[in-house]
C-alpha cells in the first residue's frame, strides 16, 4: 500500500461503533474535527508512539531470547528515556491545548475539572486493567505503575498548572531533579512504587513513576503555553496537513491510545506465531 492509498484509507476508516461509543463516553474520543487540529502536534504524537512501539518490540525480542540486550546499558537506557520524554512532553502540550480549547468554548472551570477527572480516571483505569493482565502473565513482574497510570494521574493533577503561568516550569524542573534522591531508594512496600521508590527484589515490565515523569508533563504544559497559547501557533508553518504522508501520520497521532493498548498483544502474538512456525520447520 503506497502513501496515497494509505491516506485515502485513513480518510474512510471509522472505529467500530461500540469502540467509538465507549471512547466518547469516557472522554477519549478521537473524533475531533481535523480542521481544528494542528498537524504538527498529531505528527509528533505519531512519531512518539511509533518509537515507543519499536522500543517495546525490541523488549519483546529480548524477552523471548531473540536479542541479547542489557537495558541498563546507556545506549538502551537513554534511548528509552528519550522516547518517554517525547511522549510525556506531548501529553503536556496536548493538555494545554485541550484546556485552552475548552475555555474558548466557554466551558466553566467546574466542567473543566470534571472533564480532566473523567479522562484521567479513564486512562488510569485502563492502566489498572493492564496491571491485572500482567499479574496473570508475569506474576511478580506485573505493571504496578506504568505509563497509563502515570498519564491518568498526571491529567488529574494537571488542572492547577493549566491555570498557572510561567511558574509551571520550575515546578516541572524540581520534580525532575527529585529523581536524584529518589532513584535507587528502596522500600518494603509496593504502595510507594508510584512515587519512584522500589524494593531490592523489584522488577517489572513497565515502571513509570510520577517522579520524574510528572515533571516532564509539566514541562510539556509550559511548552504548550509558550508555543500554542489559546490553541494558536506562535510561529509560522506551511499548510501541508493535506499531504498524504502527513495525513497518515496525523491519523496515527489521533489514535495513539488505541494503538498503545493493542500493539503489545499484536507484537507478542506475531512473535509467538513466528516462533511456532520455526519450531515446526526444524522439527522441534
pTM > 0.85: no
| Alpha-helix residue ranges (DSSP H) falling in 141-281 | 147-157, 159-163, 168-177, 179-182, 210-227, 244-253, 256-281
Residue 190 within any structural domain of the chain: yes
Cell digits for 238?
506551511
Q: State the average pLDDT over residues 239-268.
A: 88
User: Helices in 105-188 by DSSP H: which ranges?
Assistant: 109-138, 147-157, 159-163, 168-177, 179-182
C-alpha span between 119 and 97 (Å, rounded): 15
Q: Identify the CA nearest to 157 among candidates 142, 168, 146.
A: 168
202 within some domain: yes
pLDDT class for 120, splitting at 50, 70, 90?
very high
Percent with pLDDT over 70 in the chain: 83
Residue 149 domain-assigned? yes
Consecutive H or E run containing 33 = none
Residue 249 pLDDT exceeds 90: yes
In a domain, 233, yes or no: yes
Question: To the nearest whole percent, how much of the chain has pLDDT over 90?
Answer: 45
Q: Would you say residue 75 lies in a domain?
A: yes
Domain, as residue range, for 190: 70-237
**In the structure, what pLDDT confidence band is assigned to residue 35 with cuts at 50, 70 and 90?**
low
**Overall number of domains in the chain:** 1
Question: What is d(CA 280, CA 165) in angstroms, rounded to the nearest whole number?
Answer: 62
pLDDT in tens, 59-77: 877 777 777 877 777 777 7
The whole-number pLDDT of residue 277 equals 38
Residue 45 located in a structural domain: no
Q: Give the separation between CA 101 and CA 52, rounded to whole angstroms.
A: 28
pLDDT on residue 7: 52
Question: What's the pLDDT at 13?
Answer: 53
Number of helices and strands in the chain (H, E): 12, 0
Alpha carbon distance 164, 167 (integer Å): 7
Look at residue 152 and tell me if it is in a domain: yes
Distances (CA, A) of 153 to 16, 19, 127, 201, 229: 28, 23, 10, 26, 24
The overall longest dimension of the chain from CA atoms, in Å, is: 67
State the pLDDT at residue 201: 81
Amino acid at each position: 500500500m503506497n502513501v496515497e492509498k494509505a491516506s485515502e484509507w485513513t480518510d474512510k476508516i471509522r472505529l467500530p461503533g461500540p469502540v467509538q461509543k465507549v471512547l466518547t463516553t469516557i472522554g477519549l474520543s478521537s473524533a475531533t474535527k481535523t480542521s481544528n487540529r494542528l498537524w504538527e502536534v498529531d505528527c509528533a504524537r505519531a512519531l512518539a508512539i511509533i518509537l515507543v512501539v519499536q522500543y517495546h518490540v525490541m523488549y519483546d525480542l529480548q524477552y523471548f531470547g531473540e536479542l541479547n540486550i542489557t537495558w541498563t546499558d546507556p545506549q538502551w537506557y537513554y534511548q528509552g528515556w528519550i522516547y518517554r520524554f517525547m511522549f510525556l512532553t506531548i501529553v503536556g502540550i496536548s493538555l494545554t491545548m485541550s484546556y485552552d480549547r475548552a475555555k474558548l468554548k466557554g466551558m466553566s472551570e467546574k466542567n473543566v475539572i470534571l472533564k480532566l477527572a473523567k479522562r484521567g480516571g479513564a486512562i488510569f483505569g485502563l492502566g489498572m486493567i493492564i496491571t491485572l493482565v500482567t499479574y496473570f502473565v508475569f506474576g511478580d513482574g506485573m505493571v504496578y505503575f506504568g505509563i497509563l497510570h502515570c498519564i491518568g494521574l498526571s491529567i488529574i493533577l494537571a488542572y492547577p498548572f493549566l491555570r498557572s503561568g510561567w511558574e509551571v516550569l520550575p515546578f516541572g524542573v524540581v520534580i525532575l531533579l527529585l529523581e536524584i534522591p529518589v532513584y535507587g531508594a528502596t522500600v518494603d512496600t509496593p504502595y510507594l512504587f508510584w512515587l519512584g521508590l522500589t524494593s531490592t527484589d523489584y522488577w517489572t515490565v513497565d515502571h513509570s513513576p510520577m517522579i520524574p515523569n510528572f515533571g516532564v508533563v509539566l514541562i510539556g504544559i509550559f511548552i504548550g503555553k509558550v508555543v500554542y497559547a489559546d490553541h494558536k501557533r506562535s510561529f509560522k508553518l506551511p499548510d501541508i496537513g493535506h499531504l498524504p504522508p502527513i495525513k497518515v501520520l496525523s491519523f496515527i497521532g489521533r489514535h495513539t491510545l488505541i494503538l498503545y493498548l493493542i500493539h503489545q498483544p499484536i507484537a507478542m502474538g506475531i512473535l509467538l506465531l513466528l516462533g511456532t512456525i520455526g519450531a515446526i520447520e526444524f522439527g522441534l
